[in-house]
């Protein structure tokens, strides 16, 4: 399969092409097979082009182009076609561009691309669609109103030059697209059509990814896109930098919605895209954002003042850019903000005094070259969206490389950017709830409270002088940069993972890399500890233990991650898991360090206090999650055994101290079994050696807390079984009543993992997802966030319909979901043989999409091992069943489990009411329950009354400890 890049065809012209493989044979028979194709169009028209007084018009136009065109006048023909043929679609509007993209099963690519091309040729943009989509834009805006990310970004823009487009509000709302235009006597549809005239072919770039030869794809693009008008529009160029002197040397104190203090230092800089071969910001962000010993972060972390630090450039334009250093502060860090800022400038002065080091630049060049040449293949939709922007920013010969390979060592350029990171040019944004009552202003679009103070270079100099004297220094050479990229010889062609080694302490699954020929390996070590989640106290203790492990390893392992060796340690349903991935050359060095840290773990009180504080705030921030996210949590809380309410976890966390954690851990780890998985460029003997090393380090070192576990102690989470023909509902007020959004999730429990039932449920989801979205979001305008999707909880499969809305309460939304299923029943029963076969083929094509990289393949196989199902041939078996599936069998399945009055329909409706719908909540609480419904008032009493599905980890052919 080839990738091809084309500048959008102008009227009567030929598309321009660039490909490093152009000289090779273009016969489609020689191409690597792909089952999905993709395209992305970038238009050099973004929110900066919004007319004055019509904020959000570019974003609104992006929404409108999805509706219909003269050639395909049926509303949402494009989205319907994409969804029915195994694809996905989306778009986004940025400051200077708007991007549209999709993928689809490869056999349907030409028709999908034709529909896509009509976005840019003759869209209809009917008056009825205009009014509906303004509501959708407004719903999207209201979703963002209480998001600190959106609020703080808009605040940064607000404190910029008012005559610069960066200052604008860009998303759009009912006020900017309906109310205010009407007050001015404007017809918004007329303004929309006038704005669409900016979509000229000379401002468009297109990337197309398909299985055909480049010549075939070029011909297809010429034919489908040649009618795009070329009006020779001039691309938007920013008039200047958005920050003048009055917007610098500021300290902005802002009041966030969520718990947690954040500090950001921001400087305006010359965009380094102008020097992409020299990579000045890459060099500086590497040093300023480093987390090893001697770095800014390492020092302030050890003092208990910060939990993370990020540094780098954010490029919004080729005309201006910003360099920022941001971090999350602890309460102690809040008190030492001036010291932290002083240290940052101390480090910047150190870099100036020490000069630029060629060895550091060369080290980064080596890492970048390795990463580029051994990059993993990604899915087509990610490829096209990642490539299209390069066409605007770089010359054609650089389109596939972009800024990934800086190679020119020009120390003066690095010093030029470093000089711009001065006290005279800084803006400091400080977010904290401690500023409640101390702010003086409010940003107009999101109503973010803030105050502004001047912070002069002389003030910063005082902060530098009084900052503690801990030693800052440059990092040492990176020992983890790989040198050996040799591919191991595979003597045994192992199709599926196999058990290579088994003892009472551990089991090793192994699979060599037979597909990707890459010098990489993936290692998973699953620590099964049944005492990790048997109570809220155990859960939060295990959570803190895992967080501390990551914290202790950070300084050492940071170099490994820079060099392409990644690791993660995270909580699981029955313990915790260590995952490592990357080049196999130095993998064992990193693995050994992680294992030793785990085996020799001890609780450090100062780090415990800092992480506990952050964890408490993270749990408290559950109150500020989007209502649909809270609803999803309640669904899991109702369904899963051994899942604990956030309030109980907070209560347990409040009582947890460092000494009580230290006492808990020997008990937790005294019952442990290791499930290990190794896949990649590694021989069986080395995999066995690694497994032995893991076992020896964890279980056989002096003073280890880890002990073996007997088979009877192997416990897993299970899911409750809902009752046939009974609709359970759980209604609760939203935890943040200032959020205007309410939400409902209707969960329809269908079956436990079974190939025949799986394919029928997947087929229904494929057929119903787009009609549900169209009816509930587009036609009825119930809410911006609307979806019908599949859900699996520990192998128990279900359908889930989600709506988040400001306009209607959850009881009403739930009734409309019921009505959709009632209406859709006739669609299923009247499904033609042709449509049935087309949908089956689409599902088959999606299933047969090959793994694109080692991580996709290993995650699939590990998923089968982790669930205990071991259906390594799942794809083949389900495709075989799909080929034999009869329409009558599918309809019978729908009638049995899914339709509104199905005899085995098992339904749970979770409804979260916002402050907007408090009256409706009181009314719903007072109403009598209709027949065949059950109101859940006590979640845990309800769970105790229901039977559980069996665990998939057990039974013939499945995982047991025996």
Residues known to be catalytic: 62, 133
**Consecutive H or E run containing 454:** strand 449-454
Q: Taking the CA of residue 404 as centre, how many other CA atoms within 13 Å lie in the half-sphere pointing to its CB?
A: 16
Burial of 314: CB neighbours in 10 Å, binned 0-12, 13-18, 19+: exposed
What does the alpha-carbon distance between residue 677 and residue 656 come to, in Å, rounded to a whole number? Answer: 34
- Asked if 941 and 720 count as a contact pair (C-beta separation under 8 A), the reply is no
**Consecutive H or E run containing 733:** strand 726-733
- Gyration radius from the chain CA atoms: 29
- What string of H, E and C letters represents the secondary structure of 313-338? EEECCCCCEEEEEEEEECHHHHHCHH
- What string of H, E and C letters represents the secondary structure of 898-945? CCCCCCCCEEEEEEEECHHHHHHHHHHHHCCCCCCEEECCCHHHHHHC
What does the alpha-carbon distance between residue 86 and residue 770 come to, in Å, rounded to a whole number? Answer: 11
Q: How many CB atoms lie within 10 A of CB 57?
A: 26
What does the alpha-carbon distance between residue 70 and residue 758 come to, in Å, rounded to a whole number? Answer: 39
What does the alpha-carbon distance between residue 503 and residue 700 come to, in Å, rounded to a whole number? Answer: 14
Tell me how many degrees the CA angle 886-891-897 measures, rounded to the nearest 5: 125
- Asked if 665 and 576 count as a contact pair (C-beta separation under 8 A), the reply is no
Alpha helices per DSSP H over 790-850: 810-829, 833-847
Q: Taking the CA of residue 846 as centre, how many other CA atoms within 13 Å lie in the half-sphere pointing to its CB?
A: 20
What does the alpha-carbon distance between residue 933 and residue 815 come to, in Å, rounded to a whole number? Answer: 13
- Which residues make beta-bridge pairs with 5? 18, 207
What does the alpha-carbon distance between residue 340 and residue 263 come to, in Å, rounded to a whole number? Answer: 9
What phi, psi does 98 have (nearest 5°)? -125, 130
What is the three-class DSSP state of 101?
Answer: strand
């Amino acid at each position: 399969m080839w990738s091809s890049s084309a500048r959008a065809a102008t009227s009567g012209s030929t598309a321009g092409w660039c490909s490093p493989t152009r000289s090779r044979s273009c016969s489609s028979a020689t191409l690597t097979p792909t089952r999905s194709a993709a395209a992305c169009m970038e238009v050099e028209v973004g929110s900066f082009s919004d007319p004055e007084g019509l904020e959000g018009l570019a974003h609104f136009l992006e929404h409108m182009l999805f509706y219909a065109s003269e050639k395909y006048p049926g509303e949402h023909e494009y989205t319907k076609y994409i969804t029915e043929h195994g694809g996905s679609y989306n778009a986004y509007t940025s400051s200077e561009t708007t991007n549209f993209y999709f993928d689809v099963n490869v056999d349907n690519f030409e028709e999908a691309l034709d529909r896509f091309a009509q976005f840019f040729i003759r869209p209809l943009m009917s008056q009825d669609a205009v009014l509906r989509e303004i509501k959708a834009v407004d719903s999207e805006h209201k979703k963002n109103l209480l998001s600190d990310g959106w609020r703080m970004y808009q605040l940064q823009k607000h404190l910029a030059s008012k005559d610069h487009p960066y200052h604008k509000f860009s998303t759009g709302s009912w006020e900017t697209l309906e109310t205010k235009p009407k007050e001015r006597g404007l017809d918004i549809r007329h303004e929309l059509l006038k704005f669409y005239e900016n979509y000229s072919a000379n401002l468009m770039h297109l990337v197309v990814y398909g299985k055909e030869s480049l010549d075939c794809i070029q011909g297809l693009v010429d034919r489908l896109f040649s009618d795009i008008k070329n009006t020779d529009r001039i691309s938007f160029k920013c008039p200047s930098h958005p920050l003048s002197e009055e917007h610098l040397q500021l300290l902005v104190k802002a009041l966030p919605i969520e718990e947690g203090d954040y500090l950001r230092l921001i400087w305006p800089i010359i965009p380094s895209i102008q020097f992409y071969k020299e990579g000045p910001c890459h060099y500086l962000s590497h040093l300023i954002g480093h987390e090893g010993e001697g770095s800014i972060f390492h020092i302030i972390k050890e003092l208990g003042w910060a939990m993370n630090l990020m540094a780098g450039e954010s490029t919004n334009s080729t005309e201006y850019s910003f360099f920022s250093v941001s971090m999350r502060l602890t309460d102690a860090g809040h008190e030492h903000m001036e010291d932290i800022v002083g240290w940052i400038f101390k480090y910047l002065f150190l870099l100036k005094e020490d000069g630029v080091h060629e060895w550091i630049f060369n080290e980064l060049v080596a890492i970048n070259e390795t990463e580029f040449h051994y990059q993993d293949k990604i899915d087509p939709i990610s490829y096209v969206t990642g490539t299209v922007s390069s066409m605007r920013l770089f010359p054609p010969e650089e389109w596939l490389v972009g800024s990934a390979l800086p190679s020119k060592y020009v120390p003066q350029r690095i010093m030029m950017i470093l000089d711009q990171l001065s006290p005279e040019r800084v803006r400091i944004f400080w977010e904290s709830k401690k500023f409640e009552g101390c702010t003086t202003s409010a940003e107009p679009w999101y109503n973010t409270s803030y105050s502004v103070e001047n912070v002069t270079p002389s003030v910063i100099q005082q902060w530098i002088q009084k900052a503690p004297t801990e030693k800052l220094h440059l990092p040492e050479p990176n020992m983890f940069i790989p040198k050996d990229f040799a591919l191991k010889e595979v003597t045994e062609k192992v199709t599926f993972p196999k058990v290579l080694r088994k003892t009472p302490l551990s089991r090793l699954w192994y699979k060599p890399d037979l597909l990707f020929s890459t010098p990489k390996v993936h290692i998973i070590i699953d620590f099964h500890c049944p005492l990790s989640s048997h109570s809220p106290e155990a859960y939060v203790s295990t959570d803190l233990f895992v967080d501390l492990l990551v914290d202790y390893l950070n300084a050492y392992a940071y170099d490994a991650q820079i060099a392409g060796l990644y690791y993660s340690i995270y909580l699981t349903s029955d313990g915790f898991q260590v995952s490592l991935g990357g080049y196999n050359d130095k993998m064992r060095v990193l693995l050994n360090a992680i294992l030793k840290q785990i085996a020799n773990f001890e609780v450090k009180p100062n780090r415990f206090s800092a992480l506990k504080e952050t964890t408490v705030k993270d749990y408290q921030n559950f109150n500020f999650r989007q209502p649909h996210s809270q609803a999803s949590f309640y669904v899991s809380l109702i369904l899963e055994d051994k899942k604990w309410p956030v309030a109980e976890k907070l209560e347990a966390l409040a009582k947890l101290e460092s000494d009580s954690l230290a006492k808990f851990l020997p008990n937790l780890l005294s019952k442990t079994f290791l499930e290990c998985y190794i896949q990649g460029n590694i021989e069986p003997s080395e995999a066995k050696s690694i497994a032995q090393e893991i076992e020896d380090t964890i279980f056989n070192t002096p003073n280890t807390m880890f002990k073996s576990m007997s088979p009877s102690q192997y416990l897993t989470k299970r899911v409750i079984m809902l009752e046939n023909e009974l609709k359970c509902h759980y209604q609760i007020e939203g935890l943040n009543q200032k959020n205007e959004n309410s939400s409902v999730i209707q969960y329809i429990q269908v079956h436990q993992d079974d190939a025949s039932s799986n394919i029928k449920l997947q087929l229904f989801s494929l057929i119903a997802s787009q009609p549900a979205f169209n009816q509930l979001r587009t036609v009825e305008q119930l809410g911006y966030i609307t979806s019908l999707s599949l859900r699996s909880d520990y192998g128990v499969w279900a359908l889930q319909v989600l709506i988040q809305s400001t306009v209607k309460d959850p009881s009403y939304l739930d009734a409309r979901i019921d009505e959709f299923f009632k209406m859709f029943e006739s669609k299923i029963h009247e499904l033609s043989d042709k449509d049935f076969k087309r949908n089956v083929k689409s599902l088959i094509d999606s299933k047969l999409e090959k793994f694109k990289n080692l991580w996709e393949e290993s995650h699939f196989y590990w998923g089968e091992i982790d669930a205990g199902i071991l259906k390594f041939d799942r794809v083949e078996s389900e495709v075989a069943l799909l080929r034999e599936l009869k329409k009558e069998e599918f309809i019978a399945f729908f009638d049995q489990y899914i339709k509104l009055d199905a005899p085995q329909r098992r339904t749970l409706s979770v409804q979260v009411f916002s402050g907007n719908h408090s009256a409706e909540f009181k009314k719903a609480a007072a109403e009598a329950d209709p027949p065949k419904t059950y109101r859940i008032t006590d979640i845990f009493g309800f769970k105790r009354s229901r039977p559980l599905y069996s665990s998939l980890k057990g039974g013939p052919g499945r995982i047991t400890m025996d």
